[in-house]
Structure 1
Amino acid sequence: MKGICLILASLLLATLAKAEYFYGLNYGINQDSCPTLEDVKKDLTALKPYTNRIRIFSLSVCNQAELALQATQELGMQLYLGMWVDRPDTFDNEMKALDNIASKYGFSNVDAIIVGSEVLYRNDTDSASLANYIKKVKDTIGPKGVKVTTADVYYELPPDVVQELDFVMMNAFPYWEGVSVQDGASTLMNHYDHVVTIAQGKPVKISETGWPSAGDNFGDAVPSPENQKTYLAAVLCEAKKRNIDILWFSAKDEPYRSGVEAHWGILNANNTLKSNIPLSTLQNPC
């Protein structure tokens, strides 16, 4: 009997290990307490039952590029390498980090380089400068066959930037629009449909969306464990029906952030799946 139980347990773990309930998860770090390689591998091992793909937001800060490449390649996971772009000197630092990893690692598991996260939304630069940053990255990484894109809010994707992208990534958070959770998924899909019309025929992926499990209300948007589950299930269901790739925000709660920003994860800070998100919901969101 003990042997049978062990076999069944092994089969269950194997099934979970192969599960990809999420196309991908956004993975952030505490920049004031940089993780080690073992820290990153521990986090990604906890995430692997739910996805086989993560996205990071910077190459140079805390040496994230090398840590993420080593960890994902050891664990057999895919990776979006994000470049943090808020000033010219920041871009220069990110380019140095990109040159460094390009000379040391294979990029076989890298889905794309994401040049900037909501750069235009924050008014950190203009569209012409962002398009030029993207061109420089493509010149560096293009010979390795790696795609290049950016990630910005659904209404900040001007034609000169879209023209330079291999595919389009859009962020949309109905919570931050003050939309009720009941209207959240339909609002997201409306934004997605809009971006498809301006994507110049290029594929469109959702680079960030999610709902917090705690924090302050924002208009009609109420953060709670139940509402997080409701939004997650509705969005995953629509993504499944429409074959849309979504990088969920976020992988795990980040208690080093303040207020509502700390509560967007599907995992608790200790790497356990939140109790409001049962496997049954992930397995069958519709």
Structure 2
Amino acid sequence: MKSFSYALALTAMLTGANASWKGFNNQATLSNGACKAQSDWENDFNKLKSLPGGYSAMRVYAASDCNTLANAVPAAVATGGKILVGIWTEDSNHYNTEKQALLSAVQKYGFDWVAAVSVGSEDLYRGDTTASALAQQVNDVRGMLSTVNGYNNSVKVGHVDTWTAWTNGQSTDVIKACDFIGTDGYPYYQTVNANSIDNASNLFWQSVQAVNDTVHSAGSNAPVWITETGWPTSGSTENQAVPSVPNAQRYWSEVACSAFGKVDTFWYSLQDYNANPSFGVLDSNGNPIYNLTC
């Protein structure tokens, strides 16, 4: 009960009634490794709509790889879905190709399908770049989008990283550049002994609180979004964290059901194939592995 009360208080402080996105992370490939066609993306959006809770949004990790936006955006338009776009920032040629894929999509389809744009994903955690370089890229992408008819300030451009990367004291420059702060947090992976499912909800919400405090300390009012979290149904035990369907069900009930509708949230993940550990909430036939009702 203490954990639940803490979650309610924190979610109210973060975004309150302004939260709009309830979605899942989603991969761009099928079980055989082939890139998804438009019809496959439409199937995914329709799966989202059929789940209890009324989901319409998904997060993708790249714009150009696997022709993600070229195929996913018309699928979103056809089904009324929304996309949190990922832009890879590493390697200048790849970055420019990613930007062009996004630019082409908004020029052709406008902005109604855009939930937001994340410039980079866990780059600070990997140590692949600096906060100041990311800040320049966030501003670069926002500037590019602003040249397209229909753009307005409601189109949020930000960055996604681990909660530890946001709070390590090196993230201020990119925080100030972002319209939203996407935080990834997995108690399952935390290198503390008390990371069992009994303490998982507390650990997660403490991580969100730490990011929120860091953002405010940097002088930013950017909202904190939950862009990745989940509990695996199978895999290896990490410290005291045991993957299982009952534990994934409990983490969903305690964390997802506290977050959806209160904090902009993209759960990890909709479906995965042959992954170890496996975080997908749908099986290979597209059916829920556990009860997703809140």
Both structures adopt the same fold (TM-score exceeding 0.5): yes
Question: Which residue, 160, 164, 167 being the options, matches 2:177?
Answer: 164
In 1, the alpha carbon distance for the partners of 2:214 and 2:122 equals: 17
Query: Is the Cα contact below 8 Å between 1:87 and 1:124 reproduced in 2?
Result: no
Q: Which amino acid aligns with 1:39?
A: D
Structure 2 spans left out of the alignment, 5+ residues: 1-20
1:22-171 aligned at under 5 Å gives the runs 23-30=22-29, 32-50=33-51, 51-143=55-147, 144-145=151-152, 146-157=155-166, 158-171=171-184
Does residue 1:270 correspond to 2:285, yes or no?
Answer: yes
Does residue 1:197 correspond to 2:225, yes or no?
Answer: no
In 2, the alpha carbon distance for the partners of 1:112 and 1:150 equals: 10
Partner of 2:265: 246
Q: TM-score, normalised by structure 1?
A: 0.84
Partner of 1:13: none
The one-character-per-residue Cα deviations of 1:192-225 (angstroms, maximum 9, x if unpaired) are 1111112222211111000110011111111011
Query: Is the Cα contact below 8 Å between 1:26 and 1:251 reproduced in 2?
Result: yes
In 2, the alpha carbon distance for the partners of 1:252 and 1:132 equals: 33
Q: Which amino acid aligns with 1:181?
A: I
In 1, the alpha carbon distance for the partners of 2:121 and 2:284 equals: 23
Does residue 1:188 correspond to 2:204, yes or no?
Answer: yes
Query: Is the Cα contact below 8 Å between 2:27 and 2:272 reproduced in 1?
Result: no
Deviation at 1:160, TM superposition (A): 0.2
SS of the counterpart of 1:217? Answer: coil
The one-character-per-residue Cα deviations of 1:42-93 (angstroms, maximum 9, x if unpaired) are 1221222231111111000011012121111110112211112332222122
Q: Which amino acid aligns with 1:173?
A: Y
Q: How many residues align?
A: 253
Q: Which amino acid aligns with 1:152?
A: D
* Aligned-residue RMSD, C-alpha: 1.7
Query: Is the Cα contact below 8 Å between 1:24 and 1:55 reproduced in 2?
Result: yes
Which structure has more RCO (C-alpha within 8 Å, separation ≥ 6)?
2
Does residue 1:175 correspond to 2:182, yes or no?
Answer: no
Q: Which has the larger radius of gyration?
A: 1
In 2, the alpha carbon distance for the partners of 1:206 and 1:44 equals: 20
Residue identity over aligned pairs, in percent, reads: 30
Deviation at 1:237, TM superposition (A): 3.6
In 1, the alpha carbon distance for the partners of 2:247 and 2:79 equals: 32
Partner of 1:15: none
Q: TM-score, normalised by structure 2?
A: 0.81
In 1, the alpha carbon distance for the partners of 2:123 and 2:190 equals: 19
In 2, the alpha carbon distance for the partners of 1:101 and 1:201 equals: 29
